[in-house]
């Protein structure tokens, strides 16, 4: 079976098919969520952010079927502070030697606001068990967090939770992706910095994906903030939606409704004060707790794929130097290789 070469290249470069409407083969087109048109709320100060978040979560507070996906970071911690006592809070813990464990920090948040904390352990065996189902539902490859999200959402659904509150959207709106915001990038520099796996390093017949970047590169410097909100953001939304809806739940994402009505203060971000407006809120809500500095959903792919020999399908080069790839990059190769096998079996 022959597959669309743009889809192959895009899933390595962006972690998803970054052009809705493209099909892997006739009739097999990645599923994107239908995002309802909702009025956005403009905010400028920490106080306005808090007032807006309180209004956005208010309709959820009297429902018994609402839980929260709680990491160790400040975005979901702020939302946790707005939830009523006894709300079920789900934290993912990846199981591997040396894996980052966010559950102790999340537990502190739950203790502060009397939430009912659940820790969901996720192993490589979970990825082996659930990846194909999630790929068939999505009709595409997976973001590396999707299996963990799916397992957490499944556990929530089994406990009567139908809606999970998420902290998505805070990073791209309030300056949380600080490494990508660390400098002003030229067009070529940003492509080199952002691209997750250069398609030519792994595929026999890579195709250019530059056109995805082009709408954001017309000025002297690349429009990083807009690219992150639109292109990067769509891939994250698609991944979370697939994982959570596959488990029978839906999501509530209050930050996605907020728009910052002022330029980000890049000097503050580049000086180490990323998400400075949210940091202020965290300090108010959690006095005495240190602001967490974390890698969001740090998956131990470097451990899980340490012994993997690489992709064997004919679409991939035979001379791939796996030692040059990080664990997250290996996941993109592994997942694409596996997904093409799913398509070959005709079960997508």
Q: Which two tokens stand for residue 255?
A: 């930050």
Residue 90, classed as helix, strand or coil, is strand
Per residue in 107-140, pLDDT (tens digit) is 999 999 999 999 999 999 999 999 999 999 999 9
Per-residue pLDDT for 297 more than 70?
A: no
Per-residue pLDDT for 317 more than 60?
A: yes
Mean per-residue pLDDT, 237-252: 97
Grade residue 37 by pLDDT with cuts at 50, 70 and 90: confident
Per-residue pLDDT for 347 more than 90?
A: no
Mean per-residue pLDDT, 21-34: 94
Per-residue pLDDT for 348 more than 60?
A: no
Please tell me the distance from the alpha carbon of residue 125 to that of residue 216, in angstroms, as a whole number. 40
pLDDT given for residue 346 in this prediction: 84
Higher pLDDT, 315 or 295: 315
Grade residue 330 by pLDDT with cuts at 50, 70 and 90: very high
pLDDT given for residue 36 in this prediction: 78
Mean per-residue pLDDT, 300-317: 95
Q: Where are the beta strands (DSSP E) in 35-130?
A: 41-43, 66-69, 88-94, 116-122
Q: Which two tokens stand for residue 89?
A: 């809070």
The residue among 48, 243, 83, 54 whose CA lies nearest residue 165 is 83
Per residue in 216-239, pLDDT (tens digit) is 998 899 999 999 999 999 999 999
Per-residue pLDDT for 298 more than 90?
A: no
pLDDT given for residue 294 in this prediction: 60
- Using only the alpha carbons of the chain, give its radius of gyration: 20
Grade residue 292 by pLDDT with cuts at 50, 70 and 90: confident
Work out the number of other CB atoms within 10 angstroms of the CB of residue 210: 12
Residue 97, classed as helix, strand or coil, is coil
Mean pLDDT, all residues of the chain: 95
Per-residue pLDDT for 341 more than 70?
A: yes
Residue 10 near residue 18, CB atoms below 8 Å: yes
Grade residue 39 by pLDDT with cuts at 50, 70 and 90: confident
Q: Which two tokens stand for residue 10?
A: 């895009």
Name the β-bridge partners of 110: none
* Domains present along the chain, CATH in parentheses: 5-344 (3.40.50.620)
Work out the number of other CB atoms within 10 angstroms of the CB of residue 214: 9
Mean per-residue pLDDT, 326-343: 97
Among residues of the chain, what percentage have pLDDT more than 90?
Answer: 91
Query: What burial letters (b/e) apply to 36-70, b meaning 16+ CB within 10 Å?
Result: eeeeebebeebebbbebbeebbeebeeeeebbbbb
Per residue in 189-215, pLDDT (tens digit) is 999 999 999 999 999 999 999 999 999
120 backbone dihedrals φ, ψ, rounded to 5°: -105, 115
Q: Which two tokens stand for residue 240?
A: 């979370």
pLDDT given for residue 221 in this prediction: 95
């Amino acid at each position: 079976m022959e597959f669309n070469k743009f889809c192959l290249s895009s899933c390595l470069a962006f972690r998803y098919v970054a052009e809705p409407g493209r099909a892997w083969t006739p009739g097999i087109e990645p599923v994107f969520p239908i995002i309802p048109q909702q009025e956005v709320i403009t905010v400028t100060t920490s106080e306005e952010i808090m007032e807006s978040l309180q209004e956005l979560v208010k309709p959820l507070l009297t429902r018994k079927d609402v839980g929260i996906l709680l990491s160790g970071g400040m975005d979901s911690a702020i939302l946790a502070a707005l939830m009523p006592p006894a709300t079920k809070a789900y934290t993912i813990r990846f199981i591997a030697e040396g894996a980052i464990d966010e559950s102790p920090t999340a537990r502190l948040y739950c203790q502060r606001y009397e939430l009912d904390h659940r820790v969901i352990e996720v192993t490589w065996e979970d990825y082996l068990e659930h990846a194909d189902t999630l790929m068939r539902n999505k009709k595409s490859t997976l973001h590396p967090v999707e299996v963990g999200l799916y397992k957490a959402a499944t556990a929530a659904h089994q406990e009567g939770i139908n809606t999970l509150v998420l902290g998505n959207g805070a990073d791209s709106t309030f300056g949380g992706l600080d490494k990508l915001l660390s400098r002003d990038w030229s067009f070529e520099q940003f492509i080199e910095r952002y691209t997750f796996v250069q398609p030519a390093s792994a595929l026999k017949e890579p195709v250019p994906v530059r056109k995805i970047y082009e709408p954001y590169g017309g000025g002297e410097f690349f429009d990083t903030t807009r690219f992150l909100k639109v292109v990067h953001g769509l891939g994250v939304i698609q991944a979370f939606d697939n994982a959570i809806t596959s488990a029978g739940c839906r999501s509530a994402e209050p930050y996605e409704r907020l728009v910052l009505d002022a330029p980000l203060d890049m000097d503050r971000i580049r000086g180490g004060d990323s998400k400075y407006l949210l940091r202020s809120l965290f300090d108010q809500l959690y006095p005495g707790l240190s602001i967490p500095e974390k890698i969001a959903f740090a998956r131990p792919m470097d451990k899980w794929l340490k012994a993997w020999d690489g992709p064997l399908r004919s679409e991939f080069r035979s001379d791939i130097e796996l030692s040059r790839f990080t664990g997250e990059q290996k996941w993109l190769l592994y997942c694409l290789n596996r997904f093409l096998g799913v398509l070959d079996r005709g079960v997508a």
